[in-house]
Amino acid sequence: MPGERREAMVTLLFRLASVVFALLLTALVLVLVQAPPLEAFRLILKGAFGSPKKVADIFVIWIPLLLTSAGLLLTFHAGLWNIGIEGQIVLGAVFATGVLRYLQDTTIAPTLALILAFVAAALGGMIWALLSGVLKVYGGVNEIFSGLGLDFVAVTLVLYLIFGPWKRPGVGSMSGTEPFPRELWLPTLEKMRLSPWALALALVAWIMVIVLLQRSYFGLRLRAVGRNPRAAYLMMGLSPARLTLLAFAICGVFAGLAGAIQVTAVYHRLIPAISSGYGWLGLLVGMLVNYSPIWIGPVAWFFAMLNLGSIQLPIVLKVDSTLAGVLQGTLVYSFLLGEGIRMKWQQRRREIGESE
């Protein structure tokens, strides 16, 4: 129908306008700190695409971000704000580190040790996520607050471990725990930090979420509970409690795996900022894709590119590298703004159409 195609065109135009608006706002912020905006944007692109190694590094960021975004899309569909995701990544990293530290002095095959570390990480992330879930379902505590509190607890746990029981020989430092022996590193491409295994894992998670949400009864039920838990319970006999816990659990597993990848493929040890903020970023990705699982791939990739590209900004332009965060936040906000204006505009057009 031409009408429908028109609506789709309008939607696309509004999204493009949101991107332009976000770029303009960010340029304004750059002008405020007396930095040249175009030069900054050019440097971001150069920082992300300057060499094959840099392009590979985009994927290094993309992998954990895709995992967290995929998990978060499930909790979003269940109507949940899983802000505890940062803590879930951290717990995954802690569990993986714990297992590897225990096994590195044994004669166990490295492959098996890595597999066990990933299983433990999935479990760690799941436990942390289920804490939020149980507090929500059986304690009436909003998941935003429990998740946030648990985030702080998780970060503190890492600091405690790094400066306490797991400290480096001599004195503990912010640089993290002692690195693992090389055979316990997740195999990566030569001279790069990109691991094909991690990439495969993230892709599987992405496809799984697409299938779950678009092709399964589970996805349908999840959405019903997310839209209106009471109605879903009364009319369809669905148990909001069970679905809520399940969504939390799967998301926690994905986040835990992201933590394991950070530990085994990227840093090869536990560091204080092990989650790298990929949980928060995943929440932004989730908002930007508007519930569409296919889009988390490209959007997460774009965000990963921005993150990588802005790393060298402090050195070259003397501005803070949080510029990536400013740009990402502005993008999501102007997207919400654009959606709101578009819906209002289309509603008004329909009203005019009806009155004629």
Partner 1 sequence: MDTLLVGLAGVVALSTPVVLATLGEILTERAGVINLALNGTILLSAMTGFAVAVNSGSLLWGFLAGGTVGMTVALLVTFTSLTLGQSQVAVGFVLTLLTRDLSYFLGNPYMGKQGPRLPHWPLPVLQDIPILGPLLFRHDLMVYLSYVVILGMWFWFFYTRPGLILRGLGERPAAAYVRGARVRELRYLYAALGGFLAGLAGPAYSLSVKAGWKGTISGLDGIGWIALALTIFGGWHPLRGALGAYLFGLLQWLSLVLQPQLKDIPSQVLQVAPFPTMILLLLFVNIGNTEWMQRTLAGLPPEVRRLVERALRALQVSPPAALGKVFREE
Contacts with partner 1 by CB under 8 A lie at 29, 32-33, 81, 83, 135, 137-142, 144-146, 148-150, 152-153, 155-156, 159-160, 163-164, 280, 283-284, 287, 319-320, 322-323, 325-326, 329-330, 332-333, 336-337, 339-341, 343-344
CA 340 to chain centroid, in Å, comes to: 25
Judged by CB, which is closer to partner 1: 140, or 353? 140
Least Cβ distance, residue 145 to partner 1 (angstroms)? 5
What is the secondary structure of 119-182 as a DSSP string?
HHHHHHHHHHHHHHHHHHHHH---HHHHHHHHHHHHHHHHHHHHHTTTPPSSS--TT-SPPPPG
b/e 33-58 (16+ beta carbons within 10 angstroms → b): eebeeeebbebbeebbeeeeebeebb
Q: What is the dihedral of CA 271, 273, 278, 284, to 10 degrees?
A: 170
E strand or H helix at 279, and its extent?
helix 278-288
Least Cβ distance, residue 170 to partner 1 (angstroms)? 18
Judged by CB, which is closer to partner 1: 39, or 320? 320
Judged by CB, which is closer to partner 1: 189, or 326? 326
Judged by CB, which is closer to partner 1: 40, or 201? 40
Least Cβ distance, residue 27 to partner 1 (angstroms)? 13
Judged by CB, which is closer to partner 1: 297, or 338? 338
Least Cβ distance, residue 90 to partner 1 (angstroms)? 13
Judged by CB, which is closer to partner 1: 2, or 140? 140
| Beta-carbon contacts of residue 7 (< 8 Å; ≥ 6 apart) | 346
In angstroms, the CA 81 to CA 284 distance is 11
Judged by CB, which is closer to partner 1: 162, or 261? 162
Least Cβ distance, residue 56 to partner 1 (angstroms)? 26
Place of tokens 């989650």: 275
Residue 270, classed as helix, strand or coil, is coil
In angstroms, the CA 114 to CA 286 distance is 30
In angstroms, the CA 191 to CA 299 distance is 27
Judged by CB, which is closer to partner 1: 118, or 252? 252
CB contact at 8 A, 88 and 255: yes
Q: What angle do CA 57, 271, 250 make, to 5 degrees?
A: 75
Q: Helices 240-261 and 217-227, interaxial angle, to 10°?
A: 110
In angstroms, the CA 55 to CA 8 distance is 33
Judged by CB, which is closer to partner 1: 1, or 32? 32
Least Cβ distance, residue 156 to partner 1 (angstroms)? 4
Least Cβ distance, residue 150 to partner 1 (angstroms)? 7
Distances (CA, A) of 232 to 176, 216, 225, 239: 47, 17, 5, 8
CA 320 to chain centroid, in Å, comes to: 22
Least Cβ distance, residue 281 to partner 1 (angstroms)? 9
Least Cβ distance, residue 189 to partner 1 (angstroms)? 32
